[in-house]
Amino acid sequence: MSFTPFTRQQLLPQEEMLEVARQRGELFIGLPKETSYQERRICLTPDAVASLVAHGHRVLMESGAGLTASYTDKEYSDAGAEITHDTKKVFGCPVILKVEPPTVAEIEMMNQETLLISAIQLKTQRKEFFEALQAKKITALAFEFIRDEDGSYPAVKSLSEIAGTASVLIAAELMISQKLGKGLLFGNITGVPPTEVVILGAGTAAEFAAKTAIGLGASVKVFDNSINKLRRLQNNLNHRIFTSTIQEKAVLKALMRCDVAIGAMRGKDRSPVVVTETMVERMKRGAVIIDISIDTGGCFETSEVTTHEKPTFVKHNVTHYCVPNIPSRYSKTASLSISNIISPFLLQMADDGGIESAIRCNAGLKHGIYFYHGRLTNSSIAEWFSLNYTDINLIVF
């Protein structure tokens, strides 16, 4: 009998490898009508619903939920969604999808241990909202907190792209107006000086505002205190433009000459006020201000929150547009964008066997969880509202 000697490696203790098969889950998703003021978007398009249904999932939708995004009940019904007029029935689903965070009254309609996927909009929340989630032992996932593989925030980035592009299109509309503007065409026509645009900030919204303005032939100047952001914006544009750190004299000089000023700056708690009222007074008569940062306070001292119904006001002969939720104005585009981000996560979550398994496999999705079975897991929220929290990595690992 022959004997094959063991190698040193084979004689060392070996880990036992167990094959664990993931059990695929089936989702039952409730899609209620948005009730928040000025909210016109919806989380899933009919195509996304069709994809989910084709994978064996159910979608229960409140009648009329897609109308403000130009989607009819019939389109959703044809895609496989179940339509109901009963709001409570929709909120009784195990998974709830909303654009805006639910009200406390809507949370009351949810069952215990429901999975809520929505925006959180921390700056507008109250302590009662989190107490209501805790009482129902809700697991809550925020769009804004979901991270991609590269560390970016896809939902925030996508909506910033819309807001940045839209800011230039809105400015172009206002400049044409004989009542508010000067009857100017936004662009660069032969023999006519180009439109001058000043952009405060160098993030995603600012980048897409700059791209759109340059595409229309405008002369663009961008100000930000981060050299790295300015350099990245310059590289992404693939177009040499004027960039500068924020220095009062330089900003004032640019504002005095510009036709359009766009505020796209963010701060930790509040947007920094970069442009004072005195500086606005020295701007050209009929100039336009679009303050994208108004949802976090705005970066123009003269900014005041406006609505989609009454979006503008004039102060010091300068037209101000300060609507907090610009993407909602383009509800179908924004809905498509949100749906493209959320539906792959839903399918992956089901394939992984549910939210518990999914967040073990996906660190970016885990980062989006701020409530886990009624326990607050986000330190920023805990600090903001003086609440106790548990690190999710101590619960899910």
Indicate whether 218 and 306 sit together in one domain: yes
Count the domains in the chain. 2
Indicate whether 96 and 163 sit together in one domain: no
How many CA atoms within 13 Å lie on the side-chain side of 158? 20
Residue 374 lies in a domain: yes
Residue 8 lies in a domain: no
Indicate whether 85 and 131 sit together in one domain: yes
Indicate whether 296 and 164 sit together in one domain: yes
Task: Give me the pLDDT at residue 109, please.
Answer: 96
Task: Give me the pLDDT at residue 24, please.
Answer: 59
Q: Return the CATH number at 368.
A: 3.40.50.720
* HEC readout, 305-368: CCCCCCCEEEECCEEEECCCCHHHHHHHHHHHHHHHHHHHHHHHHHHHCCHHHHHHHCHHHHHH
Q: Which two tokens stand for residue 203?
A: 């993030």
Task: Give me the pLDDT at residue 392, please.
Answer: 87
Domain end marker among 324, 340, 369: 324
Residue 320 lies in a domain: yes
Task: Give me the pLDDT at residue 23, please.
Answer: 55
Q: Which residue has the tokens 């009542």?
A: 179
Domain end marker among 294, 324, 354: 324
What backbone torsions phi and psi does residue 123 show, to the nearest 5 degrees?
-65, -20
- 396 with 368: CB under 8 angstroms? no
Task: Give me the pLDDT at residue 360, please.
Answer: 86
Task: Give me the pLDDT at residue 10, please.
Answer: 45
pTM: 0.85
Indicate whether 168 and 298 sit together in one domain: yes
Residue 19 lies in a domain: no
Indicate whether 167 and 309 sit together in one domain: yes
Residue 376 lies in a domain: yes
Mean pLDDT, 10 residues at a time, over the chain (397 residues)? 44 48 74 91 96 96 96 97 97 96 95 94 84 94 88 89 96 81 80 93 96 94 95 91 94 96 85 94 94 91 92 94 92 95 91 87 89 91 87 81
What backbone torsions phi and psi does residue 7 show, to the nearest 5 degrees?
-80, 165
Task: Give me the pLDDT at residue 393, please.
Answer: 83
Residue 224 lies in a domain: yes
Q: What domain range is 171 assigned to?
A: 159-324
Domain end marker among 261, 295, 324: 324
